């Protein structure tokens, strides 16, 4: 049996009604996802990695890494793989081997919360600064922590307004600062310049912590050598998502915090682990999938994936612009920012939209054919508005914003 609209699926899945046709419900979900795959270019999940071996072999058991990833005791199903993933990500970020700690999280959001929690423990009176382009998980973490925040302006291309950061810091220089830089803002994939942020903190003599929310761009920029957590950079922590560039088929992520900054937890006797992570039980399957995603390609293979995705994004800008539709991207980005197309196109292509601006994201696995079909739909939907000439990015946008 197949189901039509979502409402009939909801009726079929209603657990208060028996009997339930489990196979039909699962088939429906898979069918819907398969049908949407060809036009899913609005959200940042890579679709080129085959994880079926891990799912087939590990998918039927509970894999639970309870407690600190460095512990030897307790329930440690895939902790060895978790440690390997954390070490790989720390290595590509050039994080000092003697001052690093991290774990596999449930996603970028948990990573941000964990890092800000650690920073705030160290600087309890700190104000947390983030830009208007920061992800909504940042104000949420601020609220959970009961901290005070300062919202800094962002430029039209999504990058932090450093003059505004300086002005806000100057007014609050008696308190420490926790500054959140974003490496890959959600709408435009803009990258805040951590060197400039550090310079502003130094100029006003404000002590504090610099966290980088690098959900999407952390791994690509690390592979480029453009994002580093070495001693010179002054970055204290970073959070990345695992289901974005690494395409893991379940939400997950990695948080890395300087060992000297991280939160020391207490030992829990019945789990025989130290409680240093935000959640207690943690998904060991995600750690295995992350490990497999890294192992499949290694550093060079993942560099190649980055470069292919950027090439496709440049192609998309070129084709859209040639068709007369406004489009631009940052030089490092997979994300192509476009003038919002008419609703039928937005709906068909599952675009993320913020008013006049939408984006497509050329993640690894998206094909040229998909981009061509999208451009054809845009051109067909609004022929009268097409202006066949290059459309320039917002004035402050740079073609190489990554750093």
Residues in contact with ligand PLP by the rule CB under 6 A: 107-109, 135, 137, 182, 184-186, 213, 215-216, 241, 251, 253
User: Smallest distance, Å, CB 53 to ligand PLP?
Assistant: 24
Cα angle 250, 278, 118; round to 5: 125
Which lies closer to ligand PLP via its Cβ, residue 78 or residue 185? Answer: 185
Q: Toward ligand PLP, which CB reaches closer, 184 or 365?
A: 184
| Residue number closest to ligand PLP, CB atom | 108
Query: Under a CB-based contact definition with an 8 Å cutoff, are residues 312 and 365 in contact?
Result: no
What minimum distance in Å lies between the beta carbon of 110 and ligand PLP? 7
Smaller CB distance to ligand PLP: residue 264 or 281?
281
CB 133 within 8 A of CB 111: no
List C-alpha distances in Å: 101 to 83, 183, 215, 256, 278. Answer: 10, 20, 18, 6, 14
Nearest to 142 by CA among 172, 113, 106, 119: 113
Nearer to ligand PLP, 135 or 310 (CB): 135
Angle subtended by helix axes 284-322 and 79-92, to nearest 10: 40
Q: Closest approach of Cβ 106 to ligand PLP, in Å? A: 7
Tokens coding 342: 């008419």
Mention every residue, 6+ apart, whose C-beta is less than 8 A from residue 301: none
Q: How far is the CB of 215 from ligand PLP (least distance, A)?
A: 4
Least CB distance from residue 253 to ligand PLP, whole Å? 5
Q: What is the C-alpha to C-alpha distance for residues 317 and 323, in angstroms, rounded to an integer?
A: 10
DSSP 241-282: ESSSTT--SS--EEEEE-TTTSPP--EETTTTEE--SSSSS-
Closer to ligand PLP at the Cβ: 49 or 379?
49
**Assigned token pair, 211:** 């966290």
CB 213 within 8 A of CB 68: no
Longest Cα pair distance anywhere in the chain, in angstroms?
Answer: 70
Q: Which is nearer to ligand PLP, 375 or 397 (CB)?
A: 397
d(CA 207, CA 374): 48
Radius of gyration of the chain (CA): 22
Contact assessment for residue 376 and residue 165, using Cβ atoms and an 8 Å cutoff: no
Q: Judged by CB, which is closer to ligand PLP: 144, or 387? A: 144
Nearer to ligand PLP, 28 or 135 (CB): 135
Q: Is the dihedral of CA 287, 289, 293, 298 positive or negative?
A: positive
Question: Would you say 281 and 268 are in contact if contact means Cβ atoms under 8 Å apart?
Answer: no
Q: Cα(368)–Cα(313) distance, rounded to whole angstroms? A: 9
Distances in whole angstroms, Cα of residue 96 to Cα of each of 101, 114, 259: 10, 20, 10
Work out how close the CB of 133 gets to ligand PLP at its nearest, in angstroms, rounded to a whole number: 9
Least distance (Å) between residue 212 CB and ligand PLP: 10
* Tokens 């197309």 sit on residue: 341
Minimum gap (Å) between residue 283 Cβ and ligand PLP: 13
CB of 94 to ligand PLP, least distance (A): 22
CB of 139 to ligand PLP, least distance (A): 12
Looking at the Cβ atoms of 360 and 375, the one nearer to ligand PLP is 360
Our CB check for ligand PLP shows the closer of 107 and 176 to be 107
Q: What tokens were used for 331?
A: 């030089």
């Amino acid at each position: 049996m197949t189901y039509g609209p979502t409402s009939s699926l909801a009726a079929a899945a209603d657990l208060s009604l028996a009997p339930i046709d489990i196979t039909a419900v699962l088939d429906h979900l898979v069918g819907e996802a398969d049908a949407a795959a060809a036009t899913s270019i609005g959200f940042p999940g890579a679709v080129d990695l085959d994880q079926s071996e891990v799912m087939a072999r590990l998918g039927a058991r509970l894999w639970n890494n309870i407690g600190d990833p460095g512990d030897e005791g307790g329930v440690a199903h895939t902790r060895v793989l978790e440690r390997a993933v954390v070490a790989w990500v720390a290595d590509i970020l050039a994080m000092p081997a003697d001052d690093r700690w991290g774990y596999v999280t449930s996603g970028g959001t948990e990573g941000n919360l964990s890092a800000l929690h650690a920073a705030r423990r160290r600087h309890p009176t700190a104000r947390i600064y983030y830009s208007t382009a920061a992800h909504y998980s940042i104000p949420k973490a601020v609220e959970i922590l009961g901290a005070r925040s300062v919202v800094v302006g962002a430029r039209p291309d999504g990058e932090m307004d450093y003059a505004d950061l300086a002005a806000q810091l100057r007014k609050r220089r008696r308190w420490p600062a926790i500054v959140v830089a974003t490496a890959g803002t959600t709408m435009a994939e803009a990258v805040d310049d951590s060197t400039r942020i550090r310079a502003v903190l130094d100029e006003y003599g404000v002590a504090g912590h610099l966290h980088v929310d690098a959900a999407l761009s952390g791994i690509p920029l690390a592979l480029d050598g453009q994002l580093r957590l070495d001693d010179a950079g002054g970055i204290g922590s970073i959070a990345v998502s695992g289901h974005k560039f690494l395409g893991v088929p379940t939400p997950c992520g990695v948080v890395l915090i300087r060992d000297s900054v991280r939160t020391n937890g207490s030992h829990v006797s019945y789990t025989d682990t130290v409680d240093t992570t935000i959640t207690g039980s943690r998904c060991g399957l995600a750690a295995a999938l992350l490990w497999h995603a890294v192992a499949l390609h290694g550093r060079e293979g993942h560099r190649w994936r980055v470069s292919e995705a950027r090439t496709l994004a440049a192609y998309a800008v070129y084709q859209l612009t040639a068709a007369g539709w406004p489009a631009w991207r940052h030089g490092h980005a997979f994300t192509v920012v476009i003038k919002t197309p008419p609703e039928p196109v937005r709906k068909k292509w599952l675009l993320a939209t913020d008013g006049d601006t939408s984006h497509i994201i050329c993640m690894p696995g998206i094909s040229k054919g998909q981009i061509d079909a999208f451009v054809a739909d845009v051109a067909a939907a609004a022929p009268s508005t097409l202006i066949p000439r290059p459309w320039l990015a917002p004035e402050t946008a740079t073609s190489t914003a990554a750093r």
